[in-house]
Amino acid sequence: MDNQTNQNPNQSPISGCAVASLILGIIALMSSCCLYYLSIPLAVIGTILGAVGIKSGKSGRGMGIAGIVCCIISLVPSIIVIVTGSAIISSFGSIS
């Protein structure tokens, strides 16, 4: 038997940047509440890669958009954790 694959020769390759953006967005989203110091750089890098993936002209535009959305959504809990932590720490300083 011949070793054949079921690939469409007319289909353009998927952008690696879009895939990486989606993966980083999912990881940033999962770590946004507890590991905010990891989530913020992942979200920034994922947003940049998503924009590059969308502009590249290859297929995978939907993955790039989903990656950007996940990255932006993951920034919200991270910012809330930082603001809340800062408020708690500053309130301890004003007690004494």
* pLDDT tens-digit map of 56-81: 888 888 999 999 999 999 999 999 98
The ranges of the chain with pLDDT < 50 are: none
Confidence (pLDDT) at 40:
93
Model-level pTM? 0.79
Domain extent listing, the chain: 16-95
Report pLDDT for 5.
60
For residue 59, the cross-strand partners are 14
Please give the full DSSP string across 40-92, using - where no structure is assigned.
HHHHHHHHHHHHHHHHT-SB-HHHHHHHHHHHHHHHHHHHHHHHHHHHHHHHH
For the chain, the average pLDDT equals 87
Tell me phi and psi for residue 76, to 5 degrees. -65, -55
Residue 53 is predicted with a pLDDT of 92
Q: What is the pLDDT of residue 4?
A: 60
Among candidate residues 77, 78, 60, the one with its CA nearest the CA of residue 20 = 60
